[in-house]
Amino acid sequence: MTSTSDDQSQTSAQAIPTLADLRDQIDHVDQHIHRLLNQRARLAEQVAHAKQATEANPVFYRPEREAQVLRAVMARNTGPLGDETVARLFREIMSACLALEAPQTIAFLGPAGTFTQAAALKHFGHSAVCAPQATIDEVFREVEAGSAHYGVVPVENSSEGVVNHTLDCFLASSLHVMGEVELRIHHNLLVAETTRKESITRIYSHQQSLAQCRKWLDAHYPNAERVAVSSNAEAARRIKTEWHSAAIAGESAAEQYGLEMLHRNIEDNPSNTTRFLIIGRDAVPVSGDDKTSLLVAAHDRAGALLEILQPFAQHQISLTSIETRPALPDKWAYVFFIDLKGHQADPAVAAALAEIRPQVKELRVLGSYPRAVL
């Protein structure tokens, strides 16, 4: 009996891999992953050559294709890595391969360290070339002029609502909406090395961020002056030279400007999320899970909005957002910005738009694009 028990113990001990064995297996897997990464990169280069040989003005970034790849990655994932973690890894792989095909320049609302830059990197990956712009208008201009391939602009926050400046820019622009990205927004109170923490009398941030942290500020710094600036990153930059000031900004701004996060996650709404739009010059084919953004100028008459909405209801199209903006320079005239589920090429959506067009002054499809994956 003792001999049999000793044999079983020895067999069990032999079955348990040692740390050295596990590291050897990891090295082997890493080598295999590396070979496959280079194989994928070579295929991406071949795709670039094929496009250049067959297309007069080749388009290298295909948002519908990338969305399909990321959805497939998440659908087939079996763990232990989470779906979003695996999708982010593939996002970076695709970004690196796209940079081999043709480096992409992305204009964003700057300076460096803004949430808009974080959204740009989340959507395009860290191999994209990010170009900061001082205003949303300049992001549109850079893309319209061809100085940037695409742009990223904020359009809506779950706590504070729509970003009117972005909607207004579409009124005079021919650019398309090519994608969207959602970013959880965590605000932090930042201070510099020279800040006297007990003597903070001024707090800088973008007006949206100040609004998103209103209750926290009322409770902790009720007497501090709140100064709205062009961006959170600009707020972070300013406090480097002011001993009595603090800034509200994200973690990336703290890293960018070497600041201390005195208080973390001070936003009033723990689920605070901002939606950003990807703007560009190209239309996007169907991806299989899409949204469409419209600009509609209605006639000034009773029931005008109802005439717009009825065809969507009849064709069972779900609307996700309706916003109203003044149609300048006309007095008391308005345009509607409408987001809906589906692609303009979908039969139901196409039928609804065809019914609405004769009833309005203008109906412009700003873009059909993949619904945010990450």
| Cα gap 297→336, rounded to integer Å | 6
CB 223 within 8 A of CB 216: no
Residues 6+ apart with CB under 8 A from 168: 325
Q: What mean pLDDT do residues 216-237 have? A: 94
pLDDT digits (tens, 9 = 90+) for 76-132: 999 999 999 999 999 999 999 999 999 999 999 988 888 999 999 999 999 999 999
Q: Which two tokens stand for residue 359?
A: 């009833």
pTM beyond 0.85, yes or no = yes
DSSP output for 204-250: EEEHHHHHHTHHHHHHH-TTSEEEEES-HHHHHHHGGG-TTEEEEE-
Written as one string, the DSSP assignment of 58-120 is: -----HHHHHHHHHHHHHH--SSS-HHHHHHHHHHHHHHHHHHH---EEEEESSTT-HHHHHH
Taking the mean position of all CA atoms in its chain, how far away is CA 221? 31
Note the residue count of the chain: 374
Instruction: Read off the pLDDT of residues 147-188 as tens digits, 9 standing for 90 and up.
Output: 999 999 999 988 888 999 999 999 999 999 999 999 999 999
What are the angstrom distances between the C-alpha of 268 and each of 158, 215, 239? Answer: 11, 6, 23
User: Bridge partners of 242?
Assistant: none
Domains of the chain with CATH codes: 15-93 (1.20.59.10), 104-185 (3.40.190.10), 188-263 (3.40.190.10), 283-370 (3.30.70.260)
Q: Poorest-confidence range of 6-15, 38-47, 233-242? A: 6-15
Distance (Å, whole) CA 89 – CA 73: 10
